[in-house]
Amino acid sequence: MTPAMTQRPFQQIDVFTATPYRGNPLAVVLQADDLDDAAMQGFARWTNLSETTFVLAPTEAGADYRVRIFTPGGELQFAGHPTLGTCHAWLAAGGTPQAQAQVVQQCGVGLVQIRRDGERLAFGAPTLRRDAVRAPLLASVAAALGLRPAQVVSAQLLDNGTAWMGLLLDDALTVTQLKPDFSRLAATGTKVGVAAARADGGDVQLEVRAFAPHLGVNEDPVTGSLNASLAQWLIADGHMPGRYVAAQGAALGRAGRVHVASDPSGQIWVGGSSVTCIQGSVCL
């Protein structure tokens, strides 16, 4: 017997782009307080997007709403494009923040500040934990990506609620021309983000790609959590300036743009445009 279902407001948002279908899509289910974990996970598996979010009433003081973030394979404590896309959907559905200039999101890592910057939203990057990469793991990942040792400038394990291995490469062309062996990369069990500075003098200063084949996502179009942790690492270590724009998604026919800025306190803000592509209701 099919369990009773409820019509719930639903939006599909394209994040890190102002042009529909050129960024990273996100499914957002509003009014999800009575859904259990199995229903959320099942719907996220069905959408088959990199992330699906569910908006609930907050349980922490100061939060405007609470969000749970699911991939087809499990729940995340934090992710960047779901943070911006969920905030966009919540505001579009009539959500009213307690403070005019910012929205406060409650998620698995706690409270995340989201500021409204004209047409863009930007989240305050959560605290980053960094560790060195063990040589055998680095060698395995580099081989799966087809990289020579000399092409890897620096490497770090990065975790701001979701974990990545970050690789700073020697040249933006090295990033764009990568042809990973996804089966070998999946065998490492590691989410990998690669980046390199662009020196062409254009409006983009960093080229980024993200791979997570062991989670069923060979390449992610535009990745907020990765860009946040890359920014915290690369700015702190002097590899990038305190304000820059990153490009991601070209290999997938996307044109994601991620705006990064470090404020006077050292807080990293990661922002971008979002656009609603689908709006209606879902039976769930």
Residues of the chain predicted below pLDDT 70: 1-3
Q: Do 114 and 232 fall within a single domain?
A: no
DSSP per-residue codes, 80-119: HHHHHHHHHHHHHTT---SBTTEEEEEETTEEEEEEEETT
The reply to whether 119 belongs to the active site is no
What confidence score (pLDDT) does residue 3 get?
62
What confidence score (pLDDT) does residue 201 get?
84
Q: Do 95 and 152 fall within a single domain?
A: no
Cβ atoms of residues 125 and 223 within 8 Å: no
From start to end of 129-228, where are the E strands?
A: 129-131, 152-159, 163-169, 192-197, 206-212, 217-220
Asked if residue 251 is part of any domain, the answer here is yes
Q: Do 258 and 134 fall within a single domain?
A: yes
Q: Do 138 and 253 fall within a single domain?
A: yes
Residues 223, 79: Cα–Cα separation, whole Å: 8
Asked if residue 240 is part of any domain, the answer here is yes
What confidence score (pLDDT) does residue 4 get?
75
CA–CA distances in Å: residue 159 to residues 125, 131, 257: 11, 9, 22
Asked if residue 68 is part of any domain, the answer here is yes
Q: Do 242 and 166 fall within a single domain?
A: yes
What's the pTM? 0.93
Asked if residue 17 is part of any domain, the answer here is yes
* 193 φ/ψ angles, rounded to the nearest 5 degrees: -115, 130
Q: Do 135 and 250 fall within a single domain?
A: yes
Asked if residue 2 is part of any domain, the answer here is no
Counting the structural domains of the chain, the total is 2
What tokens were used for 136?
Answer: 């055998």
Residue 107 maps to which CATH number? 3.10.310.10
Q: Do 150 and 99 fall within a single domain?
A: no
What confidence score (pLDDT) does residue 73 get?
85
- What is the b/e burial string over 202-234, where b = at least 16 CB atoms within 10 angstroms of the residue's CB? eebbbbbbbbbbbbebebbbbbbbbbbbbbbbb
Which residue is catalytic, options 51, 75, 119, 219? 51
Q: Do 173 and 276 fall within a single domain?
A: no
* 142 φ/ψ angles, rounded to the nearest 5 degrees: -60, -40
Residue 93 domain boundaries: 7-125+272-283
Which residue, among 140, 240, 149, has the nearest Cα to 192 in the 3D structure?
140
Which residue, among 148, 204, 190, 195, has the nearest Cα to 176 in the 3D structure?
195
Residues 16, 120: Cα–Cα separation, whole Å: 9
| Three-class secondary structure assignment of 29-70 | ECCCCCCCHHHHHHHHHHHCCCCEEEEECCCCCCCCEEEEEE
Which residue, among 233, 278, 276, has the nearest Cα to 133 in the 3D structure?
233
Asked if residue 32 is part of any domain, the answer here is yes
Q: Do 64 and 179 fall within a single domain?
A: no
Q: Do 156 and 76 fall within a single domain?
A: no
Asked if residue 165 is part of any domain, the answer here is yes
Q: Do 117 and 26 fall within a single domain?
A: yes
Radius of gyration in angstroms for the set of CA atoms belonging to the chain, rounded to a whole number: 18
Cβ atoms of residues 23 and 222 within 8 Å: yes
Residues 6+ apart with CB under 8 A from 68: 32, 40, 53, 54, 56, 75, 107, 108
Amino acid at 200: D
Asked if residue 1 is part of any domain, the answer here is no
Q: Do 229 and 190 fall within a single domain?
A: yes
